[in-house]
Structure 1
Amino acid sequence: MKSIFLTTMLIAAALSNKEAQAPLIAPHLIAPDDIGNSLEEYHHRRQALALNFKNHSHPIHLIDITHTALIVSYENGIVVMGFNHAKGQPTSQLSVYEGQFDSRVFDSKKFEMSSLDSAENIYTSTDVSIAQDKYNQIYIGKLKEQNGAESFTARVVFNKTLMTHHSNIE
């Protein structure tokens, strides 16, 4: 009976997920505290986080996800969420709204905060940051755990001026 209920819930979650066009979250990103949980439950929790950002209704695709950062792009903006590595819980969120954009993954070794050409509008959170240069290119990064230096993981090009919202998640 329990397995029938679980199967029904998984099918319902899959259908709901498909309708919401949720980005798929990689199953290997299970935090130590989640080892006892099923992969399906973990998938559902991460997808729910991606879908529950305020002011966003249509996730386009997942730009990047690691143990400590989730970057999701939307029609009207981008959301970066930081995670506590040990517990897998969200710790902070940075959102950038407005504009259509393309995303490109690039070699993070070539980009440091100091190398940005006239970087403006630098927004930082507990463990994620966003910087905008004079060409309206957006650099999104997460903090390295060893020394706290920026490690950029994605570049986004906007065609409109940025508006930002920053919130710490308790």
Structure 2
Amino acid sequence: MKRISLLILTAILGLQGCNSSNKSKSTTKPVLPTKPVITAVHGIQPSEVANYIAEFKLAKENLKFTFEGAESKIFYVDKTKDTIIIKYDKGLVHAGFDFKNNEPTASLTLYEGDTSDLGDFKATRMLTGVDIKISEDDDTSIYSGSVKDQVTGGIYSIRLQLNEHLMGAGDSKLIINGKKATLAGTLGTSTYIQIQEMINTTSVDTLILSNVSGSDNDAINMHTGRLIRNASLTTLMPKGGEAYSGGVDLFAAGAQRIFETGGKLGVHSWCCTADGKDAGQLSKGDKAHGAQLTYFREMLGTEKGPEFYFYTINAAPANKIHLMSVADMVKYTLTTP
């Protein structure tokens, strides 16, 4: 999953001066280096998280797809060079988008089918856009017009409403059962809201990561991890469970972490910087590592945190996944022997 972060690293060297007197022998005290002071870096400043969430809640109300008058919630899935792929109640929407100029384009195609497993998605019906028009309502882009069934020739009205918060919302589901909660799906801003509400309104003490594919918004996902740590929650990777990329970040946030044999923790590099490089292609001193380094220092300590972060970005490129061995989990203190 895409990870975008900035680094501000300030090393302060303390210099202790020399004192001399004409009444005594001149002495020079050795210059002792002080421990570098590392400035915390964040994609979203902690003081701005509340405003970010409030803005997201308002914007989310405008994220919807309407087919023949029936509204459906929508979730970001992926993108190509000229298309945003979106999940809705009955399948996928491929909406035209010019990423270079950051603006929608007048094209839209529907693929109906079962989206419960997107890796095995098979379209049962295809409908192509007819006279699609683009309009704007504040920060919301609106695709309107019709789609045509490629088999029957039927014409149906559609309306798709998008804004910048779609791509970072995620589609996670949180199920609470007593003092345990099970998290699944793709992480994002919605996950932060779910975890925050759970902490504020329940006595949950254990978060189970059952099937977490990654994160659509790492800047807020790291703050979700801080919610978990500050609430002293235990994170559990159960036998048969899976957590990848940003899901591993949340597992690391547990005040206590439990890994059951048969679970899967998968890591890879994030992508991409402005010039298209993924994190594993950058030097260790690159500023783009900053927010991730700050996060893992908090979760795993000043030594193991950076070691683990650089291990993850070198373990696999952004388009692949490396499954961690138990030995590596122990090495980086994600679990105990």
TM range, smaller chain: 0.3 to 0.5
Higher relative contact order (CA 8 A, sep 6+): 1
- Who wins on radius of gyration, i.e. which is larger? 2
Q: Whose strand fraction is larger, Structure 1's or Structure 2's?
A: 1
Q: Normalized against structure 2, the TM-score is what?
A: 0.20
